[in-house]
Structure 1
């Protein structure tokens, strides 16, 4: 997934311990402001 985002022009791409599901479970934001 990170490589696909980088190909689309995203420059700040990080691997998250626990992945996307843990991010969502923690209630962190999922959209740009």
Structure 2
């Protein structure tokens, strides 16, 4: 399956954001609690 480069970049960015949010929820930073 072929995707346009822009679509691939958009999907990767979306996944990266979701992953970072997921990791942030698993390991909350101290500043969140302050």
- Scaled by the length of structure 2, the TM-score of the pair is 0.23
Greater share of residues in helix: 2
| Structure number with larger C-alpha Rg | 2
